[in-house]
Amino acid sequence: MRSLHADLLLQRLQLTTGGQLRLRVCQCLRTAIADGSIPPGSRLPATRDLARELGVSRNTVLYAYEQLQAEGYLQAKTGSGTSVAEILPDSYLMATTGQPGRPHRYVEEMELSRRGSKLMGYANASPHQWGAFVPGVPDVREFPHALFSSIQRRINRDPLHHHLTYSHQGGSYELQQELVEYLRVTRSVQCEVDQILITEGTHQGIDLIAKMLCDPGDRVWFEEPGYWGARNILRINGADILPVRVDQHGMVPLAGGKGPPPKLIFVTPSHQYPLGAVMSLPRRKQLLALAREQGSWIIEDDYDSEFRFAGNPIPALQGLEPDAPVIYLGTFSKTLYPALRIGYMVLPKPLAAAMKLACAELYRGGHFLIQTALAQFMREGHYNAHIRRMRLLYGRRRAYLVSLITRYLGPEFLHAYDHDAGLHLVLVLPKGCDDVKIAAHALRRGVSVRPLSQYFMHRQSMRGLLLGFACVEESAMLPAFNVLRESLIRAGLCPAEPHPANVLSSG
């Protein structure tokens, strides 16, 4: 088997013609070093080995090594062989790279497609995914990594062959089985194994739905305000998105007007994102009846229903009626950790086979080993135990943040729709203020919050900030809150009183 260096040099030798072979080998090796294909410090094969791999005489390779060593590209040490110098000759680099800092012409002329440009215009993903007060991020440090790793090692020790190939049944059968029972008990979801499709997160699920159920120009009702990430996926797939008003009972179906019937209706009924409303039972029945009448599919995004800190659990919309026209979306990103990239869909029976086939065709799913490990994690009771523990932890953190807001800003700063659930709070700000500017000022001070106005498709008068509390230890919450409060004082939105440092304990 040839080394990577030999493969590289053989490819380049085929592109050079004329001249002595030893000079061509030397030139190809020099160029590969200069352009970084063979990086500084790399150890090269012995001359005898490289000569055999290239099919040339050893003297040819010896000449190249000796010449490049004389030029300063290579260095040889007794017992260590020949390697690329850590510092390369500046003269050659200057001669070969041309004018520094000038991009190639094709980079200057690069243009995105209309679809790509549209996506960039609406892109809202943040590079800040940890710390106070990033919304929607669980405390990944609390996950039982050692326990989960031991399960993975046990499975990886002798993996089954079908765990090592492409997915063709919508994911791990073991995980699908566990989800059927888990969702039945905890969310009142009614389904069978063949209705479960494992995805690489909610975004992939929405993308698949849009591609399979929507043609460009089809109407989609979407909560206003609502999750911009899901909205952008639907938008990039050509959907005609109609923002539909949300009140204290969830989406208001009558606000959809008398236009064309929607192909899809996107809702977060158990904990409206971002405002926190719970869709009432009459509103749920109204939405189901409307979907049946108009031939629409409801997308139920149940993104963080596991974390309710008061009251009774809210059952899923999917299980409210037999054969409901609902595609249920769930995720492990909030309960375990986002980088796991495992979500799932519960599909109506008429859609299941086609959606699974399309998923295999478009995404070539896999990750069977980690899905099987997750199924074992659930079967042994670790998943439920972890959720119970995190529910207590997040409940304490939420209560502490509420106490800070109430004491130093006032209860009027808490949004009225909040139902003591989820992983974030909405801090209400006066109409007309610039919540984007306030968030930017806090970010420069090391505190990350989300402007509420960015969740509206049409810029409304409602202003506020989303404050995530799940990944913030209570000991770090007060200092971060003081930074945020200073940003509000600077904007003239709260009185400039002395900081309450050390007044509240962090417990």
Give the predicted TM-score (pTM) of the model: 0.78
- What is d(CA 373, CA 152) in angstroms, rounded to the nearest whole number? 5
* pLDDT score of 497: 62
**Neighbouring C-beta atoms of residue 143, cutoff 10 Å:** 16
Contact between 206 and 185 (Cβ < 8 Å):
no
Torsion 158-161-167-172 (CA) sign? negative
CA dist 124 → 334, 451, 455 (Å): 19, 11, 10
Torsion of CA 248, 417, 305, 345, to 10 degrees: 50
Contact between 491 and 152 (Cβ < 8 Å):
no
* pLDDT score of 461: 67
* pLDDT score of 256: 67
* pLDDT score of 9: 85
pLDDT tens track, the chain, 507 positions? 567 788 888 888 877 777 788 888 998 999 888 888 888 888 999 999 888 888 889 999 999 999 998 888 899 887 778 999 888 775 444 444 444 444 445 445 567 888 887 777 777 777 777 888 999 899 999 999 999 999 999 998 988 877 777 777 899 999 999 999 999 999 999 999 999 999 999 999 999 999 999 999 999 999 999 999 999 999 999 999 999 999 999 999 887 677 889 999 999 999 999 999 999 999 999 999 999 999 999 999 999 889 988 777 789 999 999 999 999 999 999 999 999 999 999 999 999 999 999 999 999 888 889 999 999 999 999 999 999 999 999 999 999 999 999 999 989 999 988 878 899 999 999 988 899 999 999 998 899 999 999 999 886 668 999 999 999 999 999 999 999 999 999 888 877 664 444 444 444
Residues 104-111: contacts with CB under 8 Å, at least 24 apart: none
- What is d(CA 320, CA 298) in angstroms, rounded to the nearest whole number? 13
Domain 143-381 has CATH 1.20.1250.20: no
Enter the tokens of residue 506: 């962090």
Bridge partners of 331?
343
User: To which H or E segment does residue 451 belong?
Assistant: strand 450-451
Residues 6+ apart with CB under 8 A from 319: 187, 188, 189, 190
* pLDDT score of 106: 47
CATH entry, 4-92, from 3.40.30.10, 3.10.180.10, 1.10.10.10, 1.10.3080.10: 1.10.10.10
* pLDDT score of 465: 95
Domain ranges across the chain: 4-92, 143-381, 385-491
* pLDDT score of 147: 96
**Neighbouring C-beta atoms of residue 14, cutoff 10 Å:** 9
The CATH classification number of 385-491 equals: 3.90.1150.10
Residue linked to tokens 């042994």: 380
Q: Are 143-381 and 385-491 the same fold in CATH?
A: no
